[in-house]
Every structure is written in C-alpha cells, then in structure tokens.
Amino acid sequence: MNSVSLIGNLATEVELREVGEDKKVASFLLAVDRFGPDGGADFVRVSVWNRQAEICDQYLAKGRRVAVEGRLRSSSWEEPDGKRRSAVEVTANFVQFLSTREEAAAASDDVPFEAAGVA
C-alpha cells in the first residue's frame, strides 16, 4: 500500500502551473519536524491537482501549517551533463489547513475560515 500522512509547515510559497487543458498543479515544499535528540526537519515536495491546487494557491502561504494525505511518487531523469537524477514527492489526495482562525485572518482579511479545509 502506498499511503503517506504528514503534518508540517510550508517552507515555500505555493507555485501553481497549468499543465494542459483544464489541468492545474500546485507544488510546495513541506517542512516536517523530526523527533529525537537530533531534531531538525525533513523537506518534502508536495503536489496537488486541479481544484485543490487552485484553493491551495489562493489560501496557503509560506509558514502555514497543513496536514497532507496522499501517495509517494518517484521519478528519475538524466541531466544534460549525463548525470542521473531522481526525486520522490507526495501527490496529495487531501490537504487540511491547520492554521487557527486568527492566523487565517492575519494572512488575508477576506479569506473565509470555512474555505481552509480542502477535500
């Protein structure tokens, strides 16, 4: 089973792109805290598609806290210099906004808090 659940803070702004007729993808980097004596964080690339992508682009900003449920997707490619590269990202099925009402209001006075949950 390929299933991932993460809670963290956006480490970047949301980047929205059109990838075809009526298809959009938003991507961002999620900082997920590491537990243990070393602490720190892991940074995970997250992609969100179509209407969810538009809502994430509209309401999320760097620093906002979210929960992401989805699946891992790996890819590999060859750079022009011949080096082989690979990456793993989470393709989100669900993004839940976890910021408080006050944080949502501070980010934008016209954002209704009810719009914060994305299914």
Instruction: Say if residue 106's pLDDT is above 70.
Output: no
Task: Please state the length of the chain.
Answer: 119
What mean pLDDT comes out for the span 8-14? 95
Q: List the CATH number of the domain containing 101.
A: 2.40.50.140
Full domain range(s) for residue 111: 4-118
Instruction: Say if residue 117's pLDDT is above 70.
Output: no
Q: Which of 73-82, 91-100, 106-115 has the lowest mean pLDDT?
A: 106-115
3-state secondary structure of 106: helix
Give the residue with greater pLDDT, 40 vs 104: 40
Q: What is the pTM of this model?
A: 0.79
DSSP E strands in 1-119: the ranges are 4-10, 15-20, 23-33, 41-49, 65-78, 84-97, 117-118
What mean pLDDT comes out for the span 25-47? 93
The span from the CA of 102 to the CA of 110, in Å, is: 12
What mean pLDDT comes out for the span 66-88? 94
Instruction: Say if residue 3's pLDDT is above 90.
Output: yes
What mean pLDDT comes out for the span 29-45? 92
Q: What pLDDT shows up at residue 24? A: 95
**Arithmetic mean of pLDDT over the chain:** 86
Contact 29, 11 (CB under 8 A): yes
Which residue in 19, 20, 26, 32 sits closest to 49, CA to CA?
A: 26
The span from the CA of 62 to the CA of 60, in Å, is: 7
Of the pLDDT bands very low, low, confident and very high (cuts 50, 70, 90), residue 116 is: very low
Instruction: Say if residue 32's pLDDT is above 90.
Output: yes
